[in-house]
Structure 1
Amino acid sequence: MRKQGQTPVCLIAHAEQTDSVRQGQSGPTCRRVKRNHDTQATSTDPSGPSCNRRLTAAQERNGLMAALLLTPANLRTVKTRLREICPAIKSAHLSEALAAACGFRTHAALLAALKDAPDRYPPLARTSEQRFAERLRDFRAECSVPLTKLVRDILPDPVWQAFPRRDRAANDNWFYSCQRRNIPFVYLHIGRKYWRLNWDCISTEDNYDGHVRGDAGNELMRAMFRQFQDRARHDPSKAFFEGSAFVGDVKRLLPETARELADDFFAILYSPVRAA
């Protein structure tokens, strides 16, 4: 059931195409963009990143990775696993490395951010395995930690979930969890070869979804589409974006690309909710 008064702009395009959309007077209108292998797309938003930009392997390794809600339960869980993986490293050093991975200079700064944040909307961090390793080296310690996989697989307060398309119980349970937490409903349908990314802001309260309406919604949708292009442009799967900032999906994604975009899209949709 769609929220009353919601008239999302809709975009339907492959990763190679520009975002060409318009708002209809009586509701959403979609313009389907044909695939063009010969023409390089360019960004229609000069203030944003170029749609021709493709992250190199080094940039992806060194850049921001998995999305992590900084809840006490999440941090306790990650810290416990880190101590199991790296038993020879002091607990305090692991705490400092985890804080660095989340973008904080010190563990004390992370704790201060948690103290200042509202309980319902904790800060969202994009973890970095590079920052984690560099901080450990400050203490003359090393430990190979698959931080991105760890963050995505074991969290008690995840930002998205993945399950088979026919698993209605998993779908419903995750929706009600998102609704209770007032966060965007972001989830992945697992396929044999390709996965599908889905999002729907119907799980958020009406007074928290102004950012997916009107001009603000258009800007968010274009940010999502640019991120989709950056991640999927050179994948062989011919991924396909269809939707608005309010609701939509991306079909035919490679599993790792799907996970990365789920992190990206949640971050794009969650930040305005938290600021509302």
Structure 2
Amino acid sequence: MSGARAEIHPSAVIGDGARIGAGVTIGPFCVIGPQVRLGEGVVLKSHVVVEGDTEIGAGTVVYPFTTLGTAPQDLKYRGEASRLVIGARNRIREHVTMNPGTEGGGGLTQVGDDGLYMVGCHVAHDCRVGDRVILVNHVALAGHVEVGDDAIVGGLSGVHQFVRIGQGAMIGALSMVTADVIPYGLVQGPRAQLAGLNLVGLRRRGTGRGEIAALRAMLAGLGQGNFREGARERAGAEDLTAREREVLDFILGPSDRSFLTPGGGA
């Protein structure tokens, strides 16, 4: 261990080889594996388990009964080396679980910076989660899910494996997301449909009225037919705003999933 100023409760169990940064606080009854790396100022409140090849970035706070880095919940996993990398300044609340990657997904689960992961959330193997993401209580991300920066997933929602959620998207509570969600999209429903744009999120990011109007008009046009075909046609236009270009690039990017659209189709 390194960092003499770390505060470690006598009941905590720290594996030989674990790297503990300066100013780390490890509370009662935490268990830290030998490959774990805790950045400067990380706080583990109590009863936290961190195992495997897991890295937690500086300033992240982890609340009681959270489990990070235990084996993926994937029958194809055979104990191969894999990692979980969690960024800086995250707030990871009670009973959250995050699993490392698998060989089939590149061996890495990655969580960005400045996120809020509320009670009972699950981030499965091989997920890629961006910065400033909020997962509300009991959200479950299946394996290989990608979540863009600033996205919010409402409580008790589930996201199907391999789905992509674009930057700034908003998923309403109690939604089951089975297809890709465009950047800044607003989706909701037991089998979620695209309900429009995340206007609150766009405004918070300084998007002007004209740019929002252009994005709305483009989305309405794409919703009249095949999303990808419409996106290919629109991508050749010379008058695209930055937000329009971002959405079109997302739609035309690689994916095995269909899209949530205003009518609920692909």
TM over 0.5: no
Give the TM-score, by structure 1 length: 0.26
Q: Which has the higher contact order (CA 8 A, sep 6+)?
A: 1
Structure in which a larger fraction of residues adopt strand:
2
Structure in which a larger fraction of residues adopt helix:
1
